[in-house]
Amino acid sequence: MNFTWGVSSSAYQVEGGWDADGKGPSIWDNFSHVPGNIKNGDTGDIACDSYNKVEEDVYLLRALGVKNYRFSLSWSRIFPSGRNNSINSHGIDYYNRLIDGLVANNITPIVTLYHWDLPQALQDIGGWESSALIDLFDSFADFCFQTFGDRVKFWITFNEPQVIAWAGYGAGTLPPNVNDPGSAPYRVAHILLKAHARVYHTYDDKYRASQGGVIALCPNIDWVEPKTPSDPRDIEAADRYLQFLVGWFTHPIFKNGDYPEVMKWKVGNRSELQNLPSSRLPVFTAEERDYIRGTADVFCFNSYTSKIVTHSTTRLRPFSYEYDQEVLTKVDSSWPSSAITGHRAVAWGLRRLLNWIKEEYGNPPIYIIENGVGIKTKSDVDDNTRIFYYKTYIDEALKAYKLDGVNLRGYNAWSFMDSFEWLNGYDPRFGLHQVDFDNPNRPRTPKRSAVYYAEIIRNNGIPLAHLCISIHALLRTEIVFHCVLQGNMVFA
């Protein structure tokens, strides 16, 4: 029984200490300091103050009973200028204390090397548009493997590469706010893939034999359902949506070193119609394809919601990754909404998504690295909505595991605690623990959902009696039926 349960967080969202002890600025420090950029003028300057609360955080994780904790490293806390000629020993101490605390409590660290907070010094040379970042990211990763790899056995290179490329360089909504929807996202993704592969090979060549860990990247995936399942054009549109969102990164890595055929075809074709001399989607050489193929040991992903997709004839101008997909998305208004526009609680979508990964990529070992719901409120210790979300999503994950034979190895809830929600500041809340951001000590309080999640972990799944009783209360009869059918609802 090696199923792993955990919770996740990320550096900029929880650490605070934005300029403490020699840390260099990141693009998120600078962005959040510009008035008007973040809701309510919030910043991550202090956040949950996790930089000063290693013991408290480890204590709470132990109380939850998690088997793993996924956090990310702040690159500019370790290398203030982004390069290995500026090493900040205080930053390294912080992560050593955190990792040691976890290991001492039998909690496996899952460490993400990049969760969006690029050192500003590297943005100044072009950020992920510059191929210089491939070497620089590799040298940061190399240092982290060397420094922490004796205790860290699970690495993630990029959190949500599609968000980095599209929101950061296409739509321009997130830092570095480059608004070049037709071409920059493709160029950036090309560099991210090469950087990912380089780091994988560094691990393979220098560390795997002695450290014996795994390494992957972590795409964001929404499940999509064709609007009219009997219309082949909608079915194709749904597949196309997933290929542009996920396959963009996972097709090269898990399949043949190259982008999905449908992306090459659509972007190529449209670039021709746009009278461009070549496709806006860059091309890998045969050597690069060989280098990229196979560079993930496990399949990690984050998921929050589902959508409905229909095919669409989109405009040719302005050039855009979004139009290139030739799809329209919407949600079903009957799906429960949440504090994040577009995030609806659609638990059955997770089961379908897990099955899609299984079919598409040959049943790899799968880890759900982030899953959770945002609620808009200041004090939601009594968070039944979140309990409902976790109960139903975990139930669907269990069905995929037990009934469909999906090779699911782990489930992580987002989030360990309320934290800085990027453009939305500190409202909405995703945490299993409430954090009082008005109190300088940032006290944490377990919510009801934390108690519930701890019980799930203890049972390695949903306790049967609990499932039936509480689901009865919610009058979700189809799930009652399901639990009677399944009997034992645990990962075993």
Shortest distance, position 130 Cβ to ligand BGC, whole Å: 24
CB-wise, 134 or 156, nearer to ligand BGC?
Answer: 156
Beta-bridge partners for 368: 301, 411
CB-wise, 281 or 450, nearer to ligand BGC?
Answer: 450
Binding footprint of ligand BGC, residue count (CB under 6 A): 11
**Does 160 participate in binding ligand BGC (rule CB under 6 A)?**
yes
Shortest distance, position 302 Cβ to ligand BGC, whole Å: 5
Residue in 470, 467, 492, 469 with CA at minimum distance from that of residue 482 = 467
Q: Please select the residue that binds ligand BGC; options are 42, 395, 421, 471, rule is CB under 6 A.
A: 421
Residues 276-305 that bind ligand BGC (CB under 6 A): 302
Q: Alpha-carbon distance 185 to 208, whole Å?
A: 32
CB-wise, 203 or 430, nearer to ligand BGC?
Answer: 430
Of 370, 396, 421, 455, catalytic: 370
**Does 370 participate in binding ligand BGC (rule CB under 6 A)?**
yes
**Does 159 participate in binding ligand BGC (rule CB under 6 A)?**
yes
CB-wise, 267 or 375, nearer to ligand BGC?
Answer: 375
Q: Please select the residue that binds ligand BGC; options are 220, 385, 460, 486, rule is CB under 6 A.
A: 220
**Does 49 participate in binding ligand BGC (rule CB under 6 A)?**
no
CB-wise, 275 or 341, nearer to ligand BGC?
Answer: 341
**Does 26 participate in binding ligand BGC (rule CB under 6 A)?**
no
**Does 371 participate in binding ligand BGC (rule CB under 6 A)?**
no
What residues contact residue 423 under an 8 Å CB cut-off, 6+ apart?
37, 38, 39, 173, 174
Shortest distance, position 430 Cβ to ligand BGC, whole Å: 6
CA 12 vs. chain centroid, Å, equals: 14
Q: Please select the residue that binds ligand BGC; options are 10, 306, 310, 412, rule is CB under 6 A.
A: 10
CB-wise, 10 or 279, nearer to ligand BGC?
Answer: 10
CB-wise, 297 or 418, nearer to ligand BGC?
Answer: 418
The answer, yes or no, to whether the previous bond of 306 is cis (omega within 30 of 0) is: no
Distances (CA, A) of 128 to 177, 181, 309, 421: 12, 15, 30, 22
**Does 384 participate in binding ligand BGC (rule CB under 6 A)?**
no
Place of tokens 């290179």: 157
Q: Which amino acid is residue 265, in one-letter code?
A: W
Shortest distance, position 269 Cβ to ligand BGC, whole Å: 30
Contacts 24+ apart (CB under 8 A), 128-134: 128/164, 128/165, 128/168, 128/169, 128/188, 128/191, 128/192, 129/169, 129/178, 129/184, 129/187, 129/188, 129/191, 130/191, 131/191, 131/194, 133/191, 133/195, 134/191, 134/194, 134/195, 134/198
Active site residue 370: yes
Shortest distance, position 191 Cβ to ligand BGC, whole Å: 20
Structure token pair of residue 434? 């409430």
Contact mark string toward ligand BGC, 310..349, x via CB under 6 A: ------------------------------x---------
Shortest distance, position 160 Cβ to ligand BGC, whole Å: 5
What are the residue numbers of the active site? 370
Residues that bind ligand BGC (CB under 6 A): 10, 13, 159-160, 220, 302, 340, 370, 414, 421, 430
